[in-house]
Amino acid sequence: MIEIDREKFLETKDPTGYKYAIEHLPEGWQQWQELLKKRAFKENYHQLESELNARIQSDMIIGLQELSMRNAAAAKILLTLTGHTQPLGRPPTKEIKRKKEDEIDHLRNLEAYAEDIARLNGK
């Protein structure tokens, strides 16, 4: 049974395994495909694949953090990836209009309420 060299596999940063296969296996990609059919190899591979994906995501976030200092688009991507979905920038015009209309409705309701109180008090 061929074992995957963990460090070399992670260094390739290739979740498909293609780079690892052509660089480190005697029969290359064809051998990789055959290995993936074997249960024992598959279980080991899935653990490495999970670690590799975490490493790739970590590297990507670190890169975006550095880039976001100079680039607003990178900052938006970084916020989305880290679960911060609050929109950035000015709200859409429709939202602004809706808020103004809500405020006007609220003021009209207060005005009507004040008129009702004045009428009840006999003024």
Is residue 47 located within the same domain as residue 78?
yes
Asked if residues 9 and 22 have their Cβ atoms less than 8 Å apart, the reply is: no
Count: domains in the chain: 2
Which residues does 72 contact at the CB level (< 8 Å), separation at least 6?
A: 88
Mean pLDDT of the chain: 86
DSSP summary character for residue 88: P
Is 61 inside a domain boundary?
yes
pLDDT given for residue 82 in this prediction:
76
Average pLDDT over residues 25-49: 91
Tell me which residue range forms the domain holding 108.
Answer: 90-123
What is the value of pTM for the model shown? 0.57
pLDDT band at 62 (very low <50, low <70, confident <90, very high): confident
pLDDT given for residue 86 in this prediction:
62
